[in-house]
Structures are given as C-alpha cells and as structure tokens.
Amino acid sequence: MKKLIGLVLCIVIVAGILGSAIVFANDEIGVYVNGQRLSFDVHPVIVDDRTLVPMRAIFEAFGMEVEWNAVDRTITASNNQQIVMLMIDSNVMAIVPAGQNPMLVQLEIPPQIMNDRTLVPVRAIAEGLKANVEWDGYSRTIRINEQGAETVATVNGLPITANDIQFMIRQAEQMLIQSDMELLMTLMLGGEIDYNLPFGNTTLGQAIREEAVRMAAVYTLYMQYARDNGIELDSEELDMIAFHVAMTEMQFGAQFDQALRQDGIRNSRHFEEILTMFEVSRKVMETIVDNPAVFANFEQYMQEPVEEILLGAKHILITFNNRSADEAEILATQLLTRARAGEDFSALISEYGEDPGMVTNPQGYTFVTGTMIEEFYEGTKALEIGEISELIPTTFGIHIIKRVEPDPNNVMRPQGVQAPPSLRERMILAVHRGFEVMVENAYIVFLPALDNVPLTW
C-alpha cells in the first residue's frame, strides 16, 4: 500500500502547474452537504468559474480524516472506503478505492493556498466521491448529496432521503408480509417474494417503500423536534456512538461492510448517522417524559398498566434420591412439625433442603404464573405471607413451602416472557405513539426518486 501511495504521489507531483485567475465572491457562497450547511473559517472563492473551499471542512463532511504534509504540500483524505490525494498547484487528483487500483482525475483548477488556508475544488472533490452536485446561481448555493442522500419523500415539507428509508426497508417488508397470509406461506415454504405482485392499489415493492417512508417519517419528526427545542447530544453521548461503531467494526472485521449492507446500511458513516438518529430520538423521549405537559394529548397515548401477580416462596425439598417415597414422607412430616413449632425455617432449609437453588436464593424465589410447576405455584398462591403449607408432593419430591414477600427486582419468568413495562417505560411508549399519530396526520409526498430505492442489496 505504501508503494502504491508513493507511486500515485509521484504522478500528482509531476502533473503540470497552471496559473489561474482568482475572483473573491462579493456574497458568501453557501455549501450544503446532505442538507447540512458547512461552516468555513475562510470564505469559498471562485477561480476560473470554479469554486474552491477549505479542504478540511469538505473532506470531514464526507466522514474522511485529513492529513496535510507541509513538506510535500500534499493532502491525503481517507476513510474505510477510499483514499484521496491531491497536491498544491497540481491538476491531478488520485482516488484509491479500497482493494482497487488508483484512479487519476484531471482537475480544471488545482488546490491552492490562500490566506494560509488550503482550498480545494469542491465540485471535483464531491463528484470524485460519487456525490451529486448542484449549483444555484441565484442564491449562490452549492448543494452536494452523497449517493443515498437524495430526497425521495417529504413529511410536512421535511426531506426524507434514500438513506433514511434504506434501513427501514427490511422492517417494512416483514410487517407487510406478515399481514398477508399467502405471502407469509410463500416465505415459510422457501419461495421467493415477487415485488411486482399487486398489493392494494400498488405493487408489493412500492408498498414496502412507502411503508418504509412512514417509518422514517417518525424519526424525521423526532429530529425536527430536537432542533426546534435545542435538544442535542453531548460529547459523552457522541463518543459512545463512535465507540459502538468502532466495536462493531472490530467484531465483524473484514466482513464489516457486508454486515452493514445486509441491514440496508451503506457504510460506517451511514451507520453512525442511524445511531445518532436513534440516540437523539431517545433523548427527545426522555425530555418529554420528564415534562409531559409540553406534549399535546400525552395522556391519551398512555397504555393501561399490566397487572402481574408476583409470588414469593421458600421451601424445604425432600427428594426421593437414596430413599423410598415412604421414607421421604416420614422425614418431610417431621420437618413440617418442627417448622410449625417455630424452628427457624431457613435453618431447616440449610440442614435438610435438597434444592440447590435455595443456596443461591436464600431469600426465596419470586415468580409469576407459568414459571414453577403447577403444584408448587398453586400451593404457594393458597398461602398467606408467612404461612407454611402442608406437604406438597411433585415429581421433584415433597415440598414444604413458606410464602414470603416477593422481590420485584429478582423475578423468575418463563422463557420468552418479559416483565410488563414500568410507568416510565409506558410514558416513553406514549411519546413514540404520539409521534406515530403525528405521521398519520402529516402531509407526506412520495417523490419519483422513491422508485429507485433498491429493495435488495
């Protein structure tokens, strides 16, 4: 790789150096990348009808790291996908995609140093990175959109890009297919889905795209709410997002890009944008939950609390191991008599009990229906707190149960059964439902570019 970079730099250095006429713009030129206006420490300039901008700002807007070599007067910008190299006053730009041979691009205007700042030709850089560039002469604005950043729909006038919905495609597909028994059976039998099949008033493929737009619209409104109310991520939250991206890349190694694409994520930068979107949305939810009065109709979105019966129990288990059923019953009867006479129940468990779970749970089990075998559950349920049961035979042996106060922080549940949402969790769900209702009542426009969003990748 070092030899390849050295060769490319030689080509850049040897390229011809041409003089150019510089025109400083009277009005500042606005540069937007993926809808976000870039901030420059020096204004862009026009040279021979080409706009030059500070190098660091434009490359970092594309998620690239920038290195400046003052000795060779070379610029190197890189990310996981490619390396870009330029040299001051050279009309050649080298682009080295990962794992591929370098491509040399002839520049109409070379990078230049002005007012101690390195400026680069913005259109050549953007198009070299496969982005679309538009110039609005009336407003003196350059709009740059990476692949996937093109607007495919709007919600209340806010743009929704291809990148916004690409990640939602799989979720939308699963939801629609599960609502159609015929499509679901096709998948279950190993068949392939035909996206051109009629689905309602359109095709299945277009219905998936439109549903993905509605899903993305919810998060578009979250982001707008955050902007309107000054809700931003702090440095620690941003660092955690970057850490998560780095750890995911480390986990998948060379398969990182492939793993992202399987989930509809174009690259690591797109991944970071998605994580940021979710984190901002979470922060909006938390902010509203802390002050629900600011959210219209909050109460009507609240779910009714789910009642869950928790039972707590300690028990002395006498098994049939190395003893007959009659011997087990005699021992259990003796222990029951002692327990009811007031002996310490925990001491009896420690001395005679044969359930190892009582060692790790000395305060007893806390459980819900369906967790324990029926005889144990019903035997516990029939007791009052502090009461001791009769002998309860099960397939495990003979139990003497003492009902105790349940511990809500240490509940045993059947596999796959989750705890009911807490009050705060129900409030968060209410906020999300409120944003879904906003989308249901919003003005959504599907643009022609939506047809070009791939359903598979």
CATH number of the structural domain spanning residue 339: 3.10.50.40
Burial of 379 by CB count in 10 Å (0-12 exposed, 13-18 middle, 19+ buried)?
buried
Does residue 214 share a domain with residue 333?
no
Residue 62 backbone phi and psi in degrees, to 5: -95, 10
Same domain membership, residue 117 and residue 18: yes
Position 65 in a domain: yes
Q: What is the mean pLDDT of the chain?
A: 85
Q: Same domain, yes or no, for 291 and 440?
A: yes
Same domain, 291 and 331: no
Q: What pLDDT, on a 0 to 100 scale, did the predictor assign at position 286? A: 94
Tens digits of per-residue pLDDT, 122-141? Answer: 888 888 888 888 888 888 88
Verify that 163 and 68 share a domain, yes or no.
no
162 in any annotated domain: yes
Which pLDDT tens digit goes with each residue over 158-198?
889 888 898 898 888 888 877 777 776 766 666 677 888 88
- If asked whether residues 208 and 71 sit together in one domain, one would say no
pLDDT at residue 215 above 60? yes
The reply to whether 426 falls in a domain is no
Which of 145, 173, 196 is the last residue before a domain boundary? 145
Q: Residue 5 contacts by C-beta under 8 Å, 6 or more apart in sequence?
A: 76, 83, 85, 96
SS3 92: strand
Instruction: Pick the last residue of a domain from 97, 123, 145.
Output: 145
Structure tokens at 231: 């809700």
**What CATH number corresponds to the domain at position 91?**
3.30.457.10
How many Å is the maximal CA-CA distance in the chain?
Answer: 107
Confidence bin at 417 (pLDDT 50/70/90): confident
Own/partner long-range contacts of 298-307 (Cβ < 8 Å, ≥24 apart): 298/430, 298/431, 298/434, 301/429, 301/430, 301/431, 301/433, 301/434, 301/437, 302/426, 302/427, 302/430, 303/421, 303/426, 303/429, 303/430, 305/420, 305/423, 305/426, 306/420, 306/421, 307/420
Task: Please write the tens of the pLDDT for every residue from 53-76.
Answer: 998 988 888 888 899 998 989 999
CA distance 393 to 400: 9
What's the domain count of the chain? 3
272 & 369 share domain:
no
Task: Give the whole-number percent of the chain exceeding pLDDT 70.
Answer: 92
Q: Is residue 140 helix, strand or coil?
A: coil
- 322 and 439 in a common domain: no
- Say whether both 120 and 209 belong to one domain: no
- Please indicate, yes or no, whether residues 176 and 206 belong to a single structural domain of this protein: yes
* pLDDT tens digits for range 359-369: 999 999 999 98
pLDDT of residue 19: 43
Q: Is 427 among the domain residues?
A: no
| Within-domain flag for 358 | yes
Please give the share of the chain, as a percent, with pLDDT higher than 90.
42
In a shared domain, residues 324 and 348: yes
- Where does the pLDDT of residue 241 fall: very low under 50, low under 70, confident under 90, or very high at 90 and above? very high
86: its two tokens: 């330029």
Beta strands at 365-367 and 198-199: parallel, antiparallel or unpaired? unpaired
What pTM, to 2 d.p., does this model score? 0.64
pLDDT of residue 366: 95
Domain that residue 343 falls in: 311-412
Q: Are 291 and 320 within one domain?
A: no
Picking from 104, 128, 145, the residue at the C-terminal end of a domain is 145
Average confidence (pLDDT) over 293-302: 80
Going by C-beta distance under 8 Å and a sequence separation of 6 or more, which residues neighbour residue 211?
168, 172, 175, 176
Whether 327 maps to a domain, the answer reads yes
Q: Is residue 421 part of a domain?
A: no
Look at residue 249 and tell me if it is in a domain.
Answer: yes
